[in-house]
Structure 1
Amino acid sequence: MRSQFVDTSNVKVFHAALRALEMRGANEACLMVIDGVPGLGKTTTLQHWTARNQCIYLRAKKQWRASWMMNEVLEQMRVTPPHRFEDKYKLALSQIGQRLDRAQVDGQSFAMVIDEADFISRNVECMETIRDLSDGLEVPVILVGMGSIRNNLRRFPQVMSRVAQYVEFQPANEQDVRALFDGLCEVAIADDLVKFVHRVSKGYNREIKEAIASTERFGLRNDPQDGQAFSLRDLAGQPLMNDRQTGNVISVPEFA
């Protein structure tokens, strides 16, 4: 399977929100919340974007406190964290500020991304530290959640008031599934198979990619009928993916 990044509908919505955030009227309103159940491509999208723009990417931990979080911020910038929290904060502020200045000179986007932020979205210490960093530098912070972050943040009106953009990732549509097959799969796939994968995957990227890998393995071992793209009939009886609810294998139906 090709290691190619595919621009799906969710990716396009994210980039539109990012452009709106960069054009915000209130400078202090520089937080973005991205939410959605697991398996819709949030982490893949944000990791790809942060790597291209040399941004800071962190994955929140359930036991995070502000000091541990600041250690990881500094380690991401390849800076040894000092011992005292006050010194960690000042050093992070300086280092992030330098990164932000370089990005602006180079005409690039810059942000700090915190994935799985549900883990800290009820943590007063962490959320207030994030707000302080964002306010101090007017640097965008993108909080990526797994379904509950938006409701959790209602406990922090000072944080909520700084959220300029909300993005909720949605299940992939049929055009997204076609784009993922075209971009990732090394064999040609017919529309009826794309429609079937869209339906049984329920639009979850993880299941779609599982189906792409299964289809590709079959396709590289076999020739399609009449030299055409592989269809449902070609893959009749072949396992494609596991159902995330039951764990059962989902296979292409047999044809009489």
Structure 2
Amino acid sequence: MKSVVAPVKNVAATQIAFETLLQRSMGVPGIGLIHGPTGTGKTTATTYLYNQVNGVYVSARAHDTTISLTSRIVEELGAPPMYRISKCVDYIIEQMSMFERPLFIDEADYLMNDTRMLETVRDIYDGTEIPIILIGMDQIARRISTRKQFYNRISEWVEFRPADLEDVVTMADYLLDDGIKVDEELLDNLRMSSSGELRRITIGLSKIESLALANDLEIVTLDDWGDQPFHGLRG
């Protein structure tokens, strides 16, 4: 399998939203929210994006405090850990502003459990106006709507959805070794078996590729695959 990011609809929507944040008009807020169920490719899409734009990436944790989160952002910016929130925030604002480095916060649902953490992220945005991207599960959009001061700073909302057949075809085209093709009926079977989860689709494509290589198949059909499972054990 090739080590690339397939340009499925969720990935394209993420890139468009980020470009919109960069090119926004004066007065338009610059925070974006990416949300959706697990397995839909949020982390993969944003990891690819922040690497392209020299972004700063951190993942929030269940037991984070404001100081632990801001200290990790400081470390990602290349400095030793700091142990006062005010020093951390000042340094983050200085560095993000000086080098125009957007901030990506994964597992942002955990911010909802601590008003001070959420308000600190808002302070960082207000001090820089450099885009901040939050990545969270499908309930974060509802939860964040109750925090009006923060909610009003979000101008781009991207909801990640399960892959459709067109996405699975795109993934097969981009991820499988050259010369290996998969019949669309088998790809749709994989989509249904995976409930559209990109992680599980990727695992299934890897197994299809192994079957093709082991049997010297140029195109793999549903008949070639048979009734073997794409994931886990045979039922």
Q: TM-score, normalised by structure 2?
A: 0.93
1:98-247, aligned counterparts within 5 Å?
Answer: 98-100=98-100, 110-186=101-177, 187-224=180-217, 228-242=218-232
Task: Provide Cα deviations, 1:105-127, integer angstroms capped at 9, x if missing partner.
Answer: xxxxx420101101112311111
Larger Rg: 1
Amino acid across the alignment from 1:209: T
Question: Are 2:21 and 2:156, in contact at CA under 8 Å, matched by a contact in 1?
Answer: yes
Question: Are 2:145 and 2:151, in contact at CA under 8 Å, matched by a contact in 1?
Answer: yes
Task: Provide Cα deviations, 1:107-157, integer angstroms capped at 9, x if missing partner.
Answer: xxx420101101112311111000001011101111111111112213321
The 3 A distance-change label for structure 1 pair 138 and 249 is farther
Question: 1-side partners of 2:47 and 2:198: how far apart?
Answer: 15
Question: Are 2:74 and 2:82, in contact at CA under 8 Å, matched by a contact in 1?
Answer: no
Question: 1-side partners of 2:35 and 2:76: how far apart?
Answer: 23
Structure 2: unaligned runs, 5 residues or longer: none
Aligned residue number for residue 107 of structure 1: none
Deviation at 1:49, TM superposition (A): 0.7
Deviation at 1:249, TM superposition (A): 4.2
Question: 2-side partners of 1:192 and 1:17: how far apart?
Answer: 33
Q: TM-score, normalised by structure 1?
A: 0.86
Identical residues among aligned pairs (%): 27
Question: 2-side partners of 1:154 and 1:60: how far apart?
Answer: 19
Deviation at 1:40, TM superposition (A): 0.3
Question: 2-side partners of 1:89 and 1:19: how far apart?
Answer: 26
Question: 2-side partners of 1:27 and 1:71: how far apart?
Answer: 30
Question: Are 2:56 and 2:104, in contact at CA under 8 Å, matched by a contact in 1?
Answer: yes
In the alignment of these two chains, the number of paired residues is 233
Structure 1: unaligned runs, 5 residues or longer: 101-109, 243-247, 251-256
The 3 A distance-change label for structure 1 pair 28 and 125 is farther
The 3 A distance-change label for structure 1 pair 26 and 156 is farther
Aligned residue number for residue 55 of structure 1: 55
RMSD: 1.6
